[in-house]
């Protein structure tokens, strides 16, 4: 079985990418089209701060090529304010809007706050409410979650464990669903450092070995400073293809 690697960046609408990635005179309305000429996927981050209007999702769908995939970061209202409790109504609203992307909708990413400690009862009560037939993935930012018992719960519901790399917290390389999800936040500086080719070669080998029996692997670079994310994503893609 051949693994399909979906590799891109966390967001694409960065002003400081002009001249570093986007041509200087290219209008912003064409940035997604330009981005999609290099990558087949993107992770939507602005949806974490504010739910985009339906027309915005429609435009993203129309402005991207066939087979393009949008991973969508779920609202912080659900993860940071409600902290996964009593979320049915806001989650239904969010998912209904995200589904406007149609066949281009990829995984939904739930990033938990760094001060939210492990609570298996809260986690499982939340996972039960997630609609089946969609890909869901959780990124934990407190070390107490990074334990075998949590992986077992995620696996029970076929919910992905987000493998991440960042300076302040070490993350195990685990797969808990029929797909894998990896985020790179910067090796030495959060969101601001560039991975070396040697680092990316090491990651390529680890990812390839870990996900050899899966159909889909989603990988996003969140180190947007100086367009490092673009450079690193292209390099890792080359290594995985090799």
Average pLDDT per block of 10 residues along the chain, 242 residues long: 92 97 97 98 96 96 96 98 97 97 98 98 98 97 97 98 94 97 94 95 96 95 97 97 88
**Does a structural domain hold residue 53?**
yes
**Does a structural domain hold residue 178?**
no
Domain that holds residue 63: 6-173
* Distance from C-alpha of 173 to C-alpha of 5, rounded to nearest angstrom: 17
**Does a structural domain hold residue 220?**
no
**Does a structural domain hold residue 214?**
no
Q: 110 is written with which tokens?
A: 């739930």
- 226, 222, 123, 84: which is closest to 163 by C-alpha? 222
Query: Using CB atoms within 10 A of its CB, is residue 103 exposed (0-12), middle (13-18) or buried (19+)?
Result: exposed
**Does a structural domain hold residue 221?**
no
**Does a structural domain hold residue 201?**
no
**Does a structural domain hold residue 194?**
no
Q: What is the pLDDT of residue 168?
A: 86
Q: Cα–Cα distances in Å, from 101 out to 66, 67, 184?
A: 12, 12, 25
Q: What is the pLDDT of residue 1?
A: 58
Q: What is the pLDDT of residue 22?
A: 98
Domain count, the chain: 1
**Does a structural domain hold residue 26?**
yes
| φ and ψ at residue 118, rounded to 5 degrees | -60, 135
Report the CATH number at residue 162: 3.20.20.410
Global pTM reads 0.96
């Amino acid at each position: 079985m051949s693994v399909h690697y979906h590799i891109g960046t966390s967001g694409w609408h960065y002003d400081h990418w002009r001249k570093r990635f986007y041509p200087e005179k290219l209008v912003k309305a064409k940035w997604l089209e330009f981005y999609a000429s290099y990558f087949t996927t993107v992770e939507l981050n602005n949806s974490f701060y504010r739910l985009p209007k339906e027309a915005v999702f429609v435009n993203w769908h129309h402005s991207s090529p066939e087979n393009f995939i949008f991973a969508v970061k779920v609202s912080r209202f659900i993860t940071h304010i409600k902290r996964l409790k009593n979320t049915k109504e806001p989650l239904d609203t969010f998912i209904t809007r995200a589904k406007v992307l149609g066949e281009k909708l990829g995984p939904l990413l739930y990033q938990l706050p760094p001060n939210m400690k492990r609570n298996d009862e809260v986690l499982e009560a939340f996972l039960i409410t997630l609609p089946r037939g969609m890909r869901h993935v959780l990124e934990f930012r407190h070390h107490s979650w990074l334990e075998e018992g949590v992986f077992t719960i995620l696996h029970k519901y076929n919910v992905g464990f987000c493998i991440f790399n960042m300076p302040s917290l070490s993350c195990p390389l685990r797969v808990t669903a029929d797909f894998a999800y990896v985020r790179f936040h910067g090796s030495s500086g959060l969101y601001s450092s560039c991975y070396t080719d040697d680092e990316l070669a090491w990651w390529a080998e680890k990812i390839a070995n870990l996900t050899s029996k899966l159909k889909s692997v989603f990988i996003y670079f969140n180190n947007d400073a100086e367009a490092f994310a673009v450079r690193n994503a292209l390099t890792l893609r080359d290594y995985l293809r090799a």
